[in-house]
Each structure stands twice: as structure tokens, then as C-alpha cells.
Amino acid sequence: MRVLSGIQPSGKLHLGNYFGAMRQHIKLQNEHNAIYFIADYHALTSIRDKNALKRHVLDVALDYLALGLNPDKTIFFKQSDVPQVTELAWILSTITPMGLLERCHSYKDKIARGLLPCHGIFAYPVLMAADILIYQSELVPVGKDQKQHIEVTRDIAIKFNNIYGKAFKIPDEFTVAGCEVVPGVDGQKMSKSYNNTIGMFEAEKIIKKKVMGIITDSKAVEEAKDPQQSHLFALYALFADKQEKSDMAQKFRAGGLGYGQVKKELFQKIMEYFAPYRTKRQELENNLDYAEQVLADGAKRAQEIAQASMYKVKQAVGIM
């Protein structure tokens, strides 16, 4: 099965990206034909500093490779290295009903978070549909917040196939139950735009500071606490096995447990979990040519698939 996903290089990646998306991406590469890309055309809707964009693209590449993305199994590339995707986005936009885009939550959410309203943000689900359809993707692993965009993609693909004959596969989304939304240090969804993230590859002392600063209620040590109401517990649970989770839940309910103690354990768990990946990332950082070569090879392989799709699409619409 062809699996595809993209991630925006719009800032440092964090635990939400990892548990909500990247971990699944890396797992799926062993069972499927995986294609993953760094969505730099998308990131232009929020980043207007060329050096920052370049640095974020490189960081995403290093993060993925450090976390186990295997370029022998996976096609890994930068979105803009296959510019045909913007050509397809235009063609798809000519059959995309306005109402479909007007119903998308992401536009209003992004404007509410302070992004400047622009056509790119409004039309972004069409570019995302092109990303998915041009590679004839069958399964798209994403976090829950992206589910609506996969539905839009399906609608656009069905409409295109109905008008012009079958050019595209109809993709399914893939979201993993249990860790749909990773909370940030303030209890809201962890997100680059909320200033509440913990990054896997940040300096140890920054991670420590952030973990020790996780906001909690003001219950005293001796009071009983409800683990289900605690985002500190939810973060701990990401790293704990079944037994550790139930022991910790038990300690919450029994009282006598201070939040400071839980934070210390969480910090240790984060550092332990990511230690081998942090070492690997440092090695990659010392040899940037390798990551650049991986992206260049990936772009070549992606282009072959994209070109075949565009040939079909152009023939179908009559601009060959």
C-alpha cells in the first residue's frame, strides 16, 4: 500500500508531532511503500524569513532521519523539489467548490491564531489534496486535526474522477487511537503556535525547565488527584508502559504524591526515551551533506511518480 504524509517546516518539531504523527510514519515504513515530504510550499503561508525557512527544512530532515526514517525504504524529499504539485493544485482548484473550502476549520483557526489572512491559507487544502493525489496515495497518516483535509481530498478526487475519468486513487486517512492530541505544558493542544511545546532535540536544561514548569492545579501533596484530569499525567503516560501507567494513576488517586515528583520522573523518561535519537541527530548535524543527498535522491524518485500522474491528468483535461 502507498502511504504518504507531509510535515510543515514551520518551527521546531515537538512531542505532539512525534506521538501524533512522526512515530507512526516511521513505523509504517516497514510495512508499506512510504513517501514523506517536508511541506515547504505550505510553510510559506506562515514563514516569511528565508533563512528561518531553510533552517527549519534542514531541522525537519535531521529530526526524521535521527528518529529512524530509513531512506532505503522511504522516499523522503522536500515538497518544492517536485513543483508539478503546484500545477496540479491549480487544476484541482478549478473543480473545487468554494463551499468545501469555506467549511474547513483550519482557515478560521489560523486567522484566530494571528496568521495574516491570505489566499494561500484559504486554498491550502487544495495544495494538500494535490500533495496526496499526485503520488496516488492510499493511506495518509496524520493527526486528528488534519482529518478534515483528507475528507476534502477524497471529495476533490471523486469529483475529478467523475468529470474526467479515473485519474486518481481515493485515499483513506489513518489516525492512531489513544494519542490523538498531545497536550502542551499549559494543557492546551501542544502546538508550535501556542508557545507550549517540548521539543525532542532541545538542550537538556531547556527540556528540564519546560517540564518543571508544566502548569498544574494547586492541590496539596496529600490530596487525592484525578489522573484523567491531569495533562501532566497524560504526558507521563506517553512514555510509560501499562504497569507504570496504572501504578502512577494509583499514586495520583491515593494522595501523598507531589506534582514535582511526577515532573522529575517525566523529565527522566523523556531524556531516556530520546537519548539514542539525540546522539544520532548530533552525528547527522556534523555531516549535513548526508541529509542533503537523501533529499536530492528522494526528489528524483518522487518526480518520476508525479510526472506519470501529471501526464494522465493533462491528457484527461485536454492540455497535453
* Contacts to ligand TRP by CB under 6 A: 4-8, 39, 42, 128, 131-132, 140, 142, 146
Tell me the residue length of the chain: 320
Which residue type occupies 59? D
Q: Is the dihedral of CA 120, 122, 126, 129 positive or negative?
A: positive
CB of 120 to ligand ADP, least distance (A): 15
Which residue type occupies 257? L
Which residue type occupies 25? H
110 flagged as catalytic: yes
* Number of helices followed by number of strands (H, E) in the chain: 14, 5
| Distance (Å, whole) CA 182 – CA 13 | 13
191 contacts ligand ADP (rule: CB under 6 A): yes
192 flagged as catalytic: yes
Residue 105 or residue 166: which is nearer to ligand ADP going by CB?
105
Residue 62 or residue 89: which is nearer to ligand TRP going by CB?
89
**Helix residue ranges, H only, 67-97:** 84-93
Contact call for residues 143 and 285 (beta carbons, < 8 A): no
Residue of the chain from 182, 249, 270, 305 that contacts ligand ADP (CB under 6 A):
182
CB of 13 to ligand ADP, least distance (A): 8
CB of 165 to ligand ADP, least distance (A): 32
| Distance (Å, whole) CA 239 – CA 225 | 20
CB of 90 to ligand ADP, least distance (A): 24
Residues involved in catalysis: 110, 189, 192
Binding site for ligand ADP (CB under 6 A): 7-8, 10, 16-17, 20-21, 142-143, 145-146, 181-182, 189-193
